[in-house]
Structures are given as structure tokens and as C-alpha cells.
Chains A and B, each alone.
Chain A
Amino acid sequence: GESVGLHLPTLSVQEGDNSIINCAYSNSASDYFIWYKQESGKGPQFIIDIRSNMDKRQGQRVTVLLNKTVKHLSLQIAATQPGDSAVYFCAENNAPTGANSKLTFGKGITLSVRP
């Protein structure tokens, strides 16, 4: 995982368009990945997760894709709405053995939805 810098990258999309948010993770041994959404003044909110034995998982309006070969994770949001505007974080659980829970978060990306 990597720290979030002072200036987060921003993705600006038109309302109604599809959004794709990308994330590169660091540990090839990680076996569980999560996407979180954080709105201003709130804690991160779980969106969707995927385990390493899968390469795609769909939720309501969201799809997560996992490419283990290049250690890449993406979040696709269909028909983006103004309420989707937030900072999005990917996280990997890089303690796959034993019961240690330790999430490492990637750089946050700000999604801005234009009306």
C-alpha cells in the first residue's frame, strides 16, 4: 500500500457515465481486496470486496476486477450519480495467513461527478 499524498488524483465524470477507478497493490501474497468510499466528514464505507480466487465480482451498479498478474484492481461504477462523489480507496489484506487483520490502503482517488 501507499500513502495518500496532499493532492489526491481526481477523476471527473459526467453524471450518467460509467466510472473506472484503478488501483495498483503492492503485495503479491495478498488474497483479499476491498474498495471503500469515504465522504467528507465520515469514515470509509465498504463498497465491494473480492478474493484472490476470483477475477471479477459484481454488486449493485459496481464491479470489481482483479488482475493478479499485474497486481491491479479496478472499480467500475455504472451510471455514475452525484452521490458517488467521494474519495475511493482500495485496500489489501496482506496478512493472509493466521488471523491477523491488517488492511493496507492505496492512494485515495477523488471522484467528482459533474451534473
Chain B
Amino acid sequence: KAGVTQTPRYLIKTRGQQVTLSCSPISGHRSVSWYQQTPGQGLQFLFEYFSETQRNKGNFPGRFSGRQFSNSRSEMNVSTLELGDSALYLCASSLAYSTDTQYFGPGTRLTVL
């Protein structure tokens, strides 16, 4: 069974631009969570989607948004990029519930110049 895939793997953007990242969960998984990883803050939860609905949200500004499609694939968008948004963005999928194991993708490395 294929793992979680994320595209693109690397992105370079400039301040003020917006970016969309994509995540395809493991087949059969319906929950998709997004995390931001930086050297200073570590791994931080962004949001979680299940059945096309945002089910939980972390403490990030409204510039960070996401959505989930009927096939469970998910995208996250960051608008008006700031230098501090440079990070590794990780997507994790799980079957359905909070106590199901979450499996991570390789991440998208975003650099904001």
C-alpha cells in the first residue's frame, strides 16, 4: 500500500505570495492532519480534516487554510507569505479517529525569500 504523498517536495516563494500544498493520504484513510515543523518551534498542529470538514484547528493565523476533497485528498493554502512561514509542512493521514495511528508524508519544504 502506498504511503502518504505530498507535492511539491520543495518550494521557493517570495514574501506576499500565496502557496498551495497537496497531500494524498494512504488509501482508505479518511482523516488528514497538517503540521508545521521549524527548528525553533518544532512540530506544531495546523488543522485536521475528515469527510471534507475541518474537525480541529491549531493556533495559526487565518492566512493558513485548508480543504479536503471527496477522495480524502487535502490541500493547504498559505496566503500573504511571511519569512517566518519558511518550514517543513507535513501531512499525516489516519483511518478515521483520534486514536488511529497517524502516518506522515515526507513533507514539503517551503522557503520564503
Chain A residues within CB distance 8 Å of chain B: 2-6, 31-32, 34, 36, 41-46, 49, 51, 89, 91, 93, 95-96, 98-105, 107-108
Contacts and interface: CB of A to CB of B under 8 A. Distances in A.
Given A89-B43, A102-B33, 11 more contacts: A4-B40, A4-B43, A5-B42, A31-B99, A44-B43, A44-B104, A46-B103, A91-B43, A101-B102, A104-B45, A105-B43
Interface stretch (B14-22, B50-58, B63-71, B74-82): B50-58
Interface of B: 4, 31, 33, 35, 39-45, 48, 50, 55-56, 58, 90, 92, 94, 96-107
Nearest to A34: B101
Nearest to A2: B42
Nearest to B6: A43
B42 A105 contact: yes
Contact of B58 (A49, A89, A102): A102
26 contacts: A3-B40, A4-B41, A4-B42, A5-B42, A32-B98, A34-B102, A36-B104, A42-B107, A43-B105, A44-B90, A44-B104, A46-B101, A51-B99, A96-B99, A99-B96, A99-B97, A99-B98, A101-B50, A101-B56, A101-B97, A101-B102, A102-B45, A103-B33, A103-B45, A103-B92, A108-B42
A100 to B, nearest CB: 4
Label chain A's interface by main secondary structure. Answer: loop
Nearest to B106: A43
Contacts of B31: 101
Contacts of B39: 4, 6
Contacts of A102: 33, 45, 48, 56, 58, 98
Contacts of A3: 40-42, 44
A81 to B, nearest CB: 22
